[in-house]
Amino acid sequence: TFLGDTFFLTPAGSTNPALSLIAGVPANFVAFLRFGWFVKKYRSWPAFVAATVSFVTLGNLIAATNVVLFGAAVFAPLAALVTTFNLAALILGFTVFWASTMIPAILIAVPLLVRAVKPLKGRSSILADYPSWSDAGARNRLGVSVVLSIALLILGAVFFLAAPSTAAIFPGFTTYFVIA
C-alpha cells in the first residue's frame, strides 16, 4: 500500500506518503492478517467469500476512520470534506466506496491466481496451505465471482456517476453517504 501510494498516487496528487502510513498501512495490515488467518483455518470457497467480504470491509472501515479522523492533518484536500460532511457519514461513505471496488477485484483475481499456481502445489513450501476448492466446480466458482463482481461494480458505478457533484474533489460521494 505504501509503495503503491508513493509511486503512483502521490505523483497524481491523490494522496501523500503520510496519509498512506496513517490510513492504508494499518488497515491493510489488520485486515489481511485476519483474512489470512481465516482462510488458512477454513479453506473452503464459502469461507473465502465470507472472509473477503468481512475483512475487506473491516480494513476499509479502519482506513476510512483513519482518513477522516487524521487524514486532514496531512492531506489538505480532505480538510474540506471533513468540515462539509458528518464524520460518521464520511467514514461510512468511504467504506462503501472502497469495498465496492476491492471486493470484486479479489473475487475475480484470487481464483485465477489459485488456478495459476496449482502446478506448484506440493513442490513449494510457500503453498503449504493450498485451498481445498474442488476442481469440479472451478468454472462455476469463477462464473459466480465474475457475475457478483460485475454486479457490485455496476452498482458502484451507477451510484457514483448518478450522484450530484457536491464535493468538488471527489464527485459522487453524496450518494455513498446517503446509502451508508
What's the grid cell of residue 31? 485486515
- pLDDT tens-digit readout, 121-161: 777 777 777 777 766 666 677 777 777 778 777 776 766 66
Provide the 8-state DSSP code for 22.
I
Burial 63-98 (b: 16+ CB within 10 A, else e): bbbbbbeebbebbebbeebbeebeeebbbbbbbbbb
Q: Could you tell me the maximum CA-CA distance found in the chain, to the nearest angstrom? A: 55
Amino acid letter for position 168 = A
Task: State residue 152's pLDDT score.
Answer: 75
- pLDDT tens-digit readout, 102-112: 888 888 888 88
> Which residues are CB-contacts of 40 (< 8 A; sequence separation ≥ 6)?
129
Task: State residue 60's pLDDT score.
Answer: 92
> Which residues are CB-contacts of 145 (< 8 A; sequence separation ≥ 6)?
107, 108, 111
What's the grid cell of residue 65? 476512520
- Would you write out the chain's pLDDT as a tens digit for each of its 180 residues? 788 878 887 787 777 888 888 888 899 999 999 998 998 888 888 888 888 988 998 999 999 999 888 877 777 777 777 777 778 878 877 887 788 888 888 888 888 888 888 777 777 777 777 777 766 666 677 777 777 778 777 776 766 666 555 455 555 555 555 544
Task: State residue 180's pLDDT score.
Answer: 46
Provide the 8-state DSSP code for 5.
I
Task: State residue 177's pLDDT score.
Answer: 53
